[in-house]
Amino acid sequence: MSSHLFFRSRISLLRTLKPNHHAATRTISGTPFLSQDPQLATESTDHESTTLPPNPATGSPLYQENWRSPIPNSPSFSQSLVPMGFLNQAPAARIRALSETLDMISLLNMFADWTASQRWSDMKQLFEFWVRSLDKNGKPNKPDVNLYNHYLRANLMMGASPSDMLDLVAMMDDFSVAPNTASYNLVLKAMHQAKETEVAEKLLNRMLISGKDESRPDDESYDLVIGMMFSNGENDKAMQLLDIALKSGYMLSTTVFSECVRSCVAKGRTDTLVSIIERCKSLDRNKSLCPSWILCTYMAEVATQEDNGKLAFYAFEFMYNWINRGEMARPSVLLSVDEGLVVSALATAARTCNPTLIDGSWMILKRSLRGKKAANPAAYVAKINAYASLGNLQKAFVALHEFENAYKDAEKEVKEEMLSPFTSLYPLVVACSKKGFETLDEVYFQLETLSKGDTPYKSVAALNCIVLGCANTWDLDRAYQTFDAISASFGLTPNIDSYNALIYAFGKVKKTPEATRVYSHLVGEGVKPDTRTFSLLVDAHLVNRDPKSALTVIDDMIKAGFEPSKETLKKLRRRCIRELDNENDEKVESLAKKFQIRMGSENRRNMLFNMDYSRVRA
């Protein structure tokens, strides 16, 4: 600049020394004189020549006037993509240069790279510069819907509000670009973050009503809105929308499916959950849906409490899939189902007569144990009782055979208690005597046939169930014949439960002397009586209204080291009161005090007993 001024001063000085007589008189100035006369440029300068700007084109909302005013002051400026404070900042030179050199395809590729590195701010600025730049033909850059969706995503990731996102989508019309499903999904994500359920529902309805294939809701659209409804507690609306999505064949995400399961289980809507699971299984796209392991356990617990066999089965099916996934993982994760939950499910299967749940429960239990140990006795008993409740005696006795083989090495007392027909196997006894002698004879002949097979099956516990079943039907002859066949036909030794069943059979038909002889016989055979033996003898005496003999049995019971139960003493006291036997009644009271048993009163029972039913009400 200084050299240029020096050159101009030099020319002025030469003109002063050689005055032009035709020029007017000039005043003296203390500053260098700059000639204003037009002259031909003979010297080379450092400035580059600037071409005229191209003719402004239409189609861009940011370039509607001539080159002197690229951003006009118009009312639409307040809705510009560029924030108001953006023009007052110094733009990054690199981003501005990129906006002038990249075409749309190159910009899309760059946005893809920046999305991976999460450069949202740079992406937003570059897009805003790019739409204000001109392409190689001198026309304003015009984005398509995919490029604009990158810009929407950048704004979403930078925390744009749902209203801002809606404004940005509305401004797509200025670029003659129609929003597609991805555009609306980005707005729905902003609404999901702000938990604006009502607005999201309206936007989803707008997408449905539009009728355009490119903007119809997809799987992600339904997931976002349904998830918002579940999170806000609008379960009914969520279930309705979920029903629409399943009918339309859309795929649900695992998160939404888990929220649906959690909501239905918490509200006790087990039948609704069963129908949803069945619909999901009917679609190939939703077959793989599976809630978490903890949620499956919770679902199974609620299903057993509500006696919903189908839901319990689906819960075990999900858990079975988790066990397979855990074993296939590296390193493997060994998952196991709680045996108590399986026992509850088997009880539910018995109450609801659901054979599928029995098989499913036992299968997942065996898979959880992995052959390393036998199932808990309670699980075997629950399985036997479940099949007995269904009337499937064949499978019930097969399960009993498995039970005996699994605990064949257990102690004698423990084994007898586990296989007692009076407690654990009593449902099997009831099933055997359901149709009277018909069912009892059928079961007996089946056991007799199995005992003569290639792999003979002989079970004292199974025969005890028949003896007790005959006693329940007051069929003393069949009970005695079955008891005698234990040793005569099957070659087995009767145990204490066999004798107890026979004593019970004699006691029910008021044959107390024969019951007493059975007791004497078992003692002579070296079989140790138990508490139930004495209790059955007491009942046999009480049936014959002989409280004194019953007290004698209780004395023998105490000498043998057993304590009478509260139920036995209450029966004895009741008989003493009805027989007006005050002496024995006092003995019963003393026994109750001795063993610290609170007998309680029987006022209501006595009122019914003393009621005069012969009086006719007028």
> What is the model's pLDDT at position 93?
73
Q: Which residue has the higher pLDDT, 495 or 605?
A: 495
Share of the chain above pLDDT 70, in %: 84
134: which strand partners? 140
**254: helix, strand or coil:** helix
Average pLDDT over residues 309-319: 95
DSSP symbol at 60: -
Tell me phi and psi for residue 53, to 5 degrees. -70, 155
By C-alpha distance, which of 598, 603, 538 is closest to 568?
538
Q: Which residue has the higher pLDDT, 605 or 239?
A: 239
Examine the pLDDT at 518 and tell me if it is beyond 60: yes
**268: helix, strand or coil:** coil
> What is the model's pLDDT at position 99?
80
By C-alpha distance, which of 260, 271, 270, 261 is closest to 237?
260
> What is the model's pLDDT at position 20?
45
Examine the pLDDT at 365 and tell me if it is beyond 90: yes
pLDDT band for position 232 (cuts 50, 70, 90): confident
Structure tokens at 511: 């044959």
Q: Cα separations (Å) of 381 from 142, 385, 457, 506?
A: 76, 6, 19, 28
**What's the rounded Cα separation, in Å, for the pair 228 and 232?**
6
Annotate 133-148 with three-state secondary structure. Answer: CECCCCCECCCCHHHH
Q: What is the pLDDT of residues 85-139, one digit of tens each?
A: 444 444 567 788 878 888 889 999 999 999 999 999 989 999 998 988 888 888 8
CB-based contacts of 404: which residues, under 8 Å, 6+ apart? Answer: 419, 459, 461
Q: Cα separations (Å) of 426 from 54, 419, 465, 468, 501?
A: 100, 10, 8, 9, 12
Average pLDDT over residues 432-459: 88
Q: Which residue has the higher pLDDT, 579 or 462?
A: 462
**What's the rounded Cα separation, in Å, for the pair 531 and 564?**
8
By C-alpha distance, which of 78, 51, 79 is closest to 67?
51
What is the full DSSP assignment across 574-589?
HHHHHTT-HHHHHHHH
Query: Are the C-beta atoms of residues 337 and 316 closer than 8 Å to each other?
Result: yes
> What is the model's pLDDT at position 416?
85
Helix (H) or strand (E) holding 242: helix 235-247
**What's the rounded Cα separation, in Å, for the pair 490 and 484?**
10
Query: Are the C-beta atoms of residues 204 and 188 closer than 8 Å to each other?
Result: yes
Q: Which has the minimum average pLDDT: 61-75, 158-172, 320-334, 399-413?
A: 61-75
CB-based contacts of 224: which residues, under 8 Å, 6+ apart? Answer: 185, 188, 189, 191, 192, 200
Q: What is the pLDDT of residues 465-515, one digit of tens each?
A: 999 999 999 999 999 999 999 999 999 999 999 999 999 999 999 999 999
> What is the model's pLDDT at position 74?
42
Q: Which has the minimum average pLDDT: 15-19, 92-96, 261-265, 388-392?
A: 15-19
pLDDT band for position 54 (cuts 50, 70, 90): low
Q: Cα separations (Å) of 23 from 10, 18, 34, 329?
A: 19, 12, 16, 102
Average pLDDT over residues 202-206: 91
140: which strand partners? 134
Average pLDDT over residues 314-334: 93
Examine the pLDDT at 3 and tell me if it is beyond 60: no
What is the full DSSP assignment across 538-566?
HHHHHHTT-HHHHHHHHHHHHHTT----H
pLDDT band for position 210 (cuts 50, 70, 90): confident
Examine the pLDDT at 308 and tell me if it is beyond 60: yes
> What is the model's pLDDT at position 580?
85
Share of the chain above pLDDT 90, in %: 54
Q: Which amino acid is at 597?
A: I
Residue with tokens 């510009």: 80
| CA 536-538-543 angle, 5° bins | 95
Examine the pLDDT at 22 and tell me if it is beyond 50: no
Q: How far is CA 300 from the centre of its chain?
A: 9
Q: What is the pLDDT of residues 150-193, one digit of tens each?
A: 999 999 999 999 999 999 999 999 888 999 999 999 999 999 99
pLDDT band for position 50 (cuts 50, 70, 90): low
Query: Are the C-beta atoms of residues 5 and 32 closer than 8 Å to each other?
Result: yes
**What's the rounded Cα separation, in Å, for the pair 63 and 80?**
12
What is the full DSSP assignment across 396-455?
HHHHHHHHHHHTTTS-HHHHHHHT-TTTTTHHHHHHHTTTTHHHHHHHHHHHHHHHTSSS
Examine the pLDDT at 10 and tell me if it is beyond 70: no
Q: How far is CA 334 from the centre of its chain?
A: 19
Average pLDDT over residues 515-532: 92
How crowded is the C-beta side of 159, counted as CA atoms within 13 Å? Answer: 0
**What's the rounded Cα separation, in Å, for the pair 427 and 319?**
29
| Domain edges within the chain | 529-605
Entry field: residues in the chain: 618
